[in-house]
Chain A
Amino acid sequence: MEIEKLLTERKTAISRKWFEQVTDTYPSDTSKFLKQQKDPFANPVGSTTMNSLQGVLDELLKKEPDKEKLVFLLDPVIRIRTVQAVFTPSQAVGFVFFLKQIVRENLKNECRDLQTLTALSAFEGKVDELALIAFNIYMECTKTILELKANHEKGKVYRAFSRAGLVEEIPDDGPELIR
């Protein structure tokens, strides 16, 4: 039996497990909230993560996953994890690899012949590619943040005023207006 077919049957369980492991990367009290609160507006992190992971898994299980679509699906969750300072960069994207272990665990009983093992490693290849996609998205997001920071500095018309001598600069040797 093809493993894609097997995995498709077990998709719900796998994506739930994956979601649980991903939310477990948060502090424990936070992760419970992320899992429990179902209102997407009260819990954007949880609901976005859930939707992203489900979508990504669906796509991965297709014969030829569409790379563009994977980017589109994975983007929201990476976008969130990029700015959440609780994560190092590897933690921000590393959750992709959880999928490998979950799938292996899931196929423990089926992985007896070489054919299935080959199929499994092919699937794992897809996960590796997904990780690279995740890395790309992460870098894109980081770049956006850096741009925003840079623009923030530049955008301060304040500076322009300052250059034009229109702004009252605070003198280095102490302001003259104190008491």
Chain B
Amino acid sequence: MNVKYMFSFMAVILLFLLAYAGVEAAGLQVVFGIIIPYTALAVFIMGFICRIMCWASSPVPFRIPTTCGQQKSLPWIKQSKLDCPDTNGGVVLRMILEVVFFRSLFRNLKLRVKEGGKFYYGLEIFLWVGALAFHYAFFTVALRHLRFFTEPVPFFIKILEQLDGFFQFGLPIVYLSGIVLLAAALYLCLRRMLSPQVNYISLAADYFPLFLIIGIALTGILMRYFAKTDVVAVKELTMGLATFHPTIPQGIGGLFYVHLFFVSVLLMYFPFSKLMHMGGVFLSPTRNMPCNTRAERHVNPWNYPVEVHSYEEYEDHFRELMIEAGLPVEKKE
């Protein structure tokens, strides 16, 4: 049994019980339905901003992009504009590919030839696919949930819902994103537990958000497909939150509050954890700077003068030897 994931697992179970019992037994709907969500949102926004400000407050003293392709040099040598961009436009493209398609992660996989001429991809492809699936599913799910916070529901969310339910099976129609999110989160979680290499480097802090997100997805799916929840009441609550006239409608089950509580915890946890990679990826100096280090001077705000061994000192030290060897000197005596 691994302490690291057991700890995280127990923590999520505890959170579940806390919310469920808090609502069902103690009747703390106001706490879990209004106070905590507002607090969480405040913590998230403030925390996120503080974190970014904190990073931004440290200067970038040197321009050290990783050059992953041919530099711009002689006009007849083809520059790799995406992997070694020398312009801001190129950097933006590089960042888009990085943020939208996880390009560096994609580098992991290479088409390889096995004995006998068969092609195969290493296991690494699953990390890339899993990561993409996870992030995009999460994004879609989050966007879809805007339906609960807007009235009337904007057209693009309706379109998104239709696309998401494209395959039209099940009743209510099954949204792919939710299923993919759960599957991808489970995959990433199992990968962490079962691959010895990744298991070795993992911390409790790596399992906790995964369990939490699995919890969110599970409660969401349960509510939608199995323990049917009063959607009208839920929307009343969420619209109340969105319009700052919070109310607690009757008839919403404990499961919903668990779902809401999990989301709140995730929001609160976000700024203090590795989840901040969402913001950090944009601030990574090895990727977000142009590779024109020799063409443009980068200024270091704290560059300070240092003691150097000057030519004069050098010549004073070696003058006789230099003269003897016929090397030119500044002072002849």
Contacts and interface: CB of A to CB of B under 8 A. Distances in A.
Pairing of A with B: yes
Given A29-B200, A177-B309, A179-B307, A38 B195 contact: no
Interface string B187-209: 00000000111011000000000
Contacts of B307: 179
Contacts of B197: 29-30, 32-33
B112 interface: yes
A39 B112 CA distance: 7
A6 to B, nearest CB: 26
A38 B309 contact: no
A28 B197 CA distance: 8
Nearest to B195: A32
A39 B110 CA distance: 10
Contacts of A33: 197
A151 interface: no
A37 interface: yes
A90 interface: no
B196 A29 contact: yes
B199 A38 contact: no
Interface string B8-42: 00000000000000000000000000000000000
Contacts of A38: 112, 114, 120, 122
A120 to B, nearest CB: 32
B123 interface: yes
B315 to A, nearest CB: 13
Nearest to B201: A29
Contacts of B199: 29
Interface in B304-330: 307, 309, 313, 317
B10 to A, nearest CB: 25
A37 B122 contact: yes
B122 A39 contact: yes
A168 B15 CA distance: 69
A32 B120 CA distance: 19
Interface of A is mostly: helix
A36 interface: yes
A36 B200 CA distance: 16
A36 B123 contact: yes
A32 B191 CA distance: 13
Interface string B97-126: 000000000000010101000001011000
A38 B124 CA distance: 12
Interface in B143-199: 195-197, 199
Contacts of A36: 123
Contacts of B120: 38
Nearest to A176: B317
A26 to B, nearest CB: 11
A32 B122 CA distance: 14
B312 to A, nearest CB: 13
B13 to A, nearest CB: 28
A92 B122 CA distance: 29
A84 B197 CA distance: 19
Interface in A98-115: none
A177 B195 CA distance: 56
Most buried by A among B112, B114, B309: B112
A167 B200 CA distance: 49
Interface in A151-179: 177, 179
Interface of A: 28-33, 36-39, 177, 179
24 contacts: A28-B196, A28-B200, A29-B196, A29-B197, A29-B199, A29-B200, A30-B197, A31-B196, A32-B196, A32-B197, A33-B197, A36-B123, A37-B122, A38-B112, A38-B114, A38-B120, A38-B122, A39-B110, A39-B112, A39-B122, A177-B309, A177-B313, A177-B317, A179-B307
Interface of B: 110, 112, 114, 120, 122-123, 195-197, 199-200, 307, 309, 313, 317
Given A28-B196, A29-B200, A38-B122, 8 more contacts: A28-B200, A29-B199, A30-B197, A33-B197, A38-B112, A38-B114, A177-B309, A177-B317
- Those 10 A-B pairs whose CB atoms lie nearest each other, nearest first: A29-B200, A29-B196, A32-B196, A29-B197, A28-B196, A39-B112, A33-B197, A32-B197, A36-B123, A38-B114
